[in-house]
Amino acid sequence: MKKIYIAIVGSLMLFSSCEKLLEEDVRNNISNLYYETPAGVEEGVKGCYSQLRNIHGKQSLAWMTNYADEYTNGGADGIMNDYLNTLNPSHLTFREYWTTLYAAINACNQVIVAAEKADMPAQLKNTRIAELRFLRAHHYFLLVQAYGPISLTLKPTESASSETRRSPISDVYAAIIADLNFAVANLPETTPDYGRATTWAARHALAKVYLAKAGTTLKEATDYSKAATLAKEVIASNKYKLLPDFASIFLHGRNDEVIFSCQYDADPLFGGTLGGKGNNSHVFFTTDYTSQPGMQRDIANGRPYNHFRPTNYMLGLYNKQYDSRFDKSFKTVWYCNKPGTYTISGKSVTMALGDIAFIMTDYEPTQAERNAARYTIISPSQQHNTLFPQSSKHIDATRLDVNNLNGFKDAIVYRLGETYLIAAEALMMDGKPTEAVFYVNELRRRAAKVSTDPVVTAANRLAMEVTAAQLNIDFILDERARELNAESHRWYDLVRTGKLIERVKLYNTRAAPNIQPYHILRPIPQAQIDRVPGGAKNYPQNNGYN
């Protein structure tokens, strides 16, 4: 049982949620049998939730999922975006993603075994095991989509072992579906402890699994109908709602649209172990605003790592006359936080605190416009890898100082906006476009610009509607981009729909010359292959990476 102590205690000490944080350091008084007690099970489950903080809000997940057609390389090294030879099995991102997810899986396996032995009420025991199986399914789903056939372990690893093999994806999907079906049946509809999984989170996850499975060789005739049914159940539950204001979804990550999220807290003991003890998402999307007159680094604007630059496809995807989501997803105006006198377009300009310092435009202004402006105008031709309209979804003013990487907004994992799109895609692919378009239009009407004149608002909502005849997989992917960009879904979406290669070639100019068909899977980390006796003979690498 010593391995449970090592694997779980470190993670439980990092757990946080809206319930009271742990107050006692129990590392020195845990017996070997502690996790087989009701109290031990409770702490073990919390520890497994804490593992989410090593995944969501960290660089490896962001790099694995956001580079595609929506985002290209900004100020990062370009390895994950450009599909060059440096995108290989030794790259740190693949190793970190793999090892982090398997550590989380092993923690779940350990607590499941302990919980099965614990003397506690059957219903509570099943609920806690269902939470663990939900989390385990979540981790395996991320892995199998990225790497294909992988090691499938449903029992805890108590000691170092090199004896492992890649299981067929059919076995992995079967295990994921079994875990989520158990979670659907045994998780509650609501929970007093915000952050715990519910049956609706499990249904949303299972709908995504069936949607992904339908895009593989495992596809069964009922996959799309199962996905649609599950998504519709979540929507019809009325436990969640589409927020009227799209921007408000991302203010702090806790609201009525969020189905499941990864919680963060400013207490330095609680926040994950990788990349700092906090949500690091804000740094990846931030443009280099400090290079502009009137600006200096501050907490409100963030620390500019500028890894993700939106593609021209992404920036041009919205009908800005009617759709509010561009303005509520991207920051294009910055306000002076460094008052002073500066030279802008050849003229001396004195800026006061709060004046407009610079703007990003989607057109090329005339020289007369530039001359008239008392701020810097950065047009599309002047934007580059470190200076671009940035996603505003992850802006986080909760950091403790200007150089701190750690924000404390929750990282949204599942939200109702995506549930609507899952229902729409599944119904459309199941030959039911008339039913599918209802869910698309519900989402698009929510996104319509609101005016003080109700007649104008109604007209905008009507203009946002589409017909069933307009639905196809490219429209669905465009709508997912408008709704979900920068939320770490995209690479998986394009692989699932068979569109990764096509869309990267169309919309990501840096990656287009290099991406190959084999890139629909990531390379197995070389460190994993090297640990197995016989190496690649017994643990083969994915095609194209040998």
Q: Please report which confidence band the pLDDT of residue 510 belongs to, taking 50, 70 and 90 as the band edges.
A: very high
pLDDT in tens, 41-78: 999 999 999 999 999 999 999 999 999 999 999 998 89
CB 416 within 8 A of CB 235: yes
Residue 27 reports pLDDT greater than 90? no
Read off the amino acid at residue 171: D
What does the pLDDT read at residue 356? Answer: 98
Q: Please report which confidence band the pLDDT of residue 18 belongs to, taking 50, 70 and 90 as the band edges.
A: very low
What does the pLDDT read at residue 346? Answer: 92
29 contacts: CB under 8 Å, gap ≥ 6: none
The vertex-407 CA angle with 144 and 402, nearest 5°, equals 135
What does the pLDDT read at residue 107? Answer: 96
pLDDT in tens, 452-488: 999 999 999 999 999 999 999 999 999 999 999 999 9
Mean pLDDT lowest among 10-24, 450-464, 475-489, 496-510? 10-24
What does the pLDDT read at residue 77? Answer: 85
Residue 106 reports pLDDT greater than 80? yes
Cβ atoms < 10 Å from Cβ of 222: 12
Reduced 3-state DSSP string for 142-210: HHHHHHCCECCCCCCCCCCCCCCCCECHHHHHHHHHHHHHHHHHHCCCCCCCCCCCCHHHHHHHHHHHH
For the chain, give the mean pLDDT: 91
Residue 32 reports pLDDT greater than 60? no
Residue pointed to by tokens 């949204």: 412
CB 452 within 8 A of CB 503: no
Considering only residues 237 and 272, tell me which one the structure prediction assigns the higher pLDDT: 237
Instruction: Report the percentage of the chain scoring pLDDT > 90.
Output: 86
In this prediction, residues 513-517 reach a mean pLDDT of 97
pLDDT in tens, 145-192: 999 999 999 998 765 456 689 999 999 999 999 999 999 999 999 999
pLDDT in tens, 292-304: 999 999 999 999 9
What does the pLDDT read at residue 161? Answer: 53
CB 491 within 8 A of CB 477: no
